[in-house]
Chain A
Amino acid sequence: MAAILSLAEAVEEHLRDGDIIAMEGFTHLIPFAAGHEIIRQGRKRLTLIRMTPDLIYDQMIGMGCGEKVVFSWGGNPGVGSLHRFRDAHENGWPNKISIEEHSHAAMANAFDAGAAGLPFAAFRGYRGAELKRVNPNIKEITCPFTGEKLAAVPAIKLDVAVVHAQKADRKGNVLFEGIVGVQKQAVLAAKRSIVTVEEVVDTLAPHSPNAVILPGWTVSAVVHVPGGAHPSYAHGYYKRDNAFYKKWDAISRDRDSFRAWIGEHVLRKGPDAFAVHAKKAA
């Protein structure tokens, strides 16, 4: 059964230097508060897996938490580049990071395979695509019945999955709703998992029998962090702060302005700072 912890406790207990982690959420429910806590605790040499590194990894990379990034689309959605990601990858600031680049289909299949306990995923992908040339983790497999050649990638296996959800009950059962991305797969592909939530409730009911729910015994720690997905959003709670995504371009373009922003909004703040963004939608 999941333990209900503070964010500091959850990260201290479950996330270590050098871990292979995924902090998922496909535009929706991105666990920013947890990312800030990881920065505050100064975690290092993490392998950071996310389909879209987004601002959360840009912030962590800029503060030196990362050693390797595994991703499929590395931009600031609708805005432009992830400047801290590029600065680390291209100039080694604050430290050199390596990249493993895939397509969305490859990573979605790799998360699915990880959740299913398989060693690899086979899919009809990368045909005529040059990533095959530069990524040794893209191989080929032949269908034993038709002879068709398919792409194969290793399953994603995580030390820790970190995700944000709408609700958990007191046993740590977690409900996701809306754009659910690969969060469930990430948790099921991980040895340990931290789930931040908008609300801790007595019961998740009423809900569809087929709702996207993770039982508490599949989750290591549940943390109550209202607003914890800002500047991404939480369906049914608050909207995406598109304006902040645009502002981030200027903040992150320059190393000093980035450091200043992190100092003010991360290092000198705590998870409670996110509460202001948590206003339940009508």
Chain B
Amino acid sequence: MITILFFASLREALGVNREQFDCKLSSVTDVASLIEALRGRSAAFSEALAPTRNWRVAVNQEIANTNTPIASGDEVAFFPPVTGG
């Protein structure tokens, strides 16, 4: 199981802020395969996580990319570009 978090406009577009996800069931091994699995769920997910959209991904609270490996126990977060300060 991994934990997936969504923030800000992504959280609103998807209607979810946190979920548990079973990597093994979906053969998820990295960020790219996780995104593929998530995008297959619905039009909303497909749209929100499209490669052309300007989202960011973090694995275990560090900025990651589509090649970053994912293993059970990891925390993966998707969010728009940050706007603090």
Tell me, yes or no, whether A binds B.
Answer: no
